[in-house]
Structure 1
């Protein structure tokens, strides 16, 4: 359950920050923004990045791993 809540929070913030970045970039370039596509793309990239970093750091210290 903790993993699910963490990913929902990451998805929310990734979407929000992706929308802000989309707005700023569209205003600087003078183009029509595509908010939905950019928001979904930001969620995907954010979830991949956070889970990959969590996986790498979780396996970096072999003494903290559970012995099966």
Structure 2
């Protein structure tokens, strides 16, 4: 049975629950802003489900990967 509150991106396979909680394959859940900063910004495919700027919100420096 599918959950109508979960979207799965056909590009990267990430799950977005209830419109804003992003479930990454590894690590803690995040936001659409974090997903955009780490993945969508670089992939730039029309099939990506995380391209709506109003849904993404404000991207902060903490959303990007931190250098080791």
Report the TM-score, using the length of structure 1 for normalisation: 0.23
The higher radius of gyration belongs to 1
Pick the structure with more helix per residue: 1
